[in-house]
Structure 1
């Protein structure tokens, strides 16, 4: 190999190293897992199977907010966050972007750096669909591990699910026990016994046992588990999914719940 070829190779190596270093420095340091079912995936602005494309100011993209896409690559986060994850339905605005923007707004006091959002929610799923050993559990775990492979830390799991467990009485009655086991299994498999869970108490359901599931959610007394109540937030005409602005308000409530843990 002549000197010119070696020089070109050395320059290429330097450029590649510089690129990798820059990319590494831009990776999220503060990671949040978004999991559950459709109201976490986001149905705000969706009508007749189509999303309006309207993005509230609270959900605008920010270079300091990234999302882990379905191909396990980081990109600037944008609505709909779950478009390539909850692929069986049309996704719209969810609480994730409003959450991240509110957290970033208070970055100076919270010391939060680049935020990484990891969408994992899938519409129409019951708590049993998320048990250890299921496809959804394994996929959540896989994405969670990838999200911190660059040196970040999972700061919290944001969980909004339960509407599908309101149809059968036995599902509603079993909800609390299954949710507790889900939390403990994830903490064990992520080797983080104090991992924060911020769960949402449902505002609606597919069946008549909404109050039973809500009672189960509000009654979970594990350490490092906080509950944000969605009751009172406006629902769409389907009486199941949150409106766009309700998703925004929920995201901000989730952010405040997380921020209180930093004080």
Structure 2
């Protein structure tokens, strides 16, 4: 009986660990994915979270935060101020948009220690904001260590559209790479039927390209994961290339 109880206890412990092994996502969420006449600025919220489950993690001040316009970066690190996302430490900024263009916001975080996985996590995260009708340059390669290059325009899409992206790590496309996908369940209004469905998973093809159809309107994050050949304090480092896009509903005529 003692042996049976020990086995049951160990099983319960393992199940408990598995139940809390949520996917990690760097997050850069703008107040709007597309700016129109009358919009003068965009607010950005930066966090490290479990977007579908609504579980946050404390995020140290990023190592870098920049906006790229016409291929040129502008340092925005000094514009960050502390905030809370999912009751945990996060960051926010306001950026004035003065002319038409495609604005790509990118974050490199500090390495995050993850005791549950006995490793460190670094997610290079970006999002794309289009302003005043311009849409040139949305597929720009920023040259980040890990990056998803959108092959589908990353704004102005409907829920249900297929989205494609090219995964690059250290400048090269990555074949057979796992890409985790989650919706930002901001208000907690959705619940996955099973734990398997909190995080969707696809793989890149031989050319490093992945394809996914987003079924609901809202913010969707794609995290392409690779292991770096350099370690931190002897531990492996998960390097994620993360991209956030917004999917829209059709509007009903009034």
TM-score, length-scaled by structure 2: 0.29
Q: Which has the higher strand share?
A: 2
Structure showing greater relative contact order (alpha-carbon pairs closer than 8 Å, 6 or more residues apart): 1
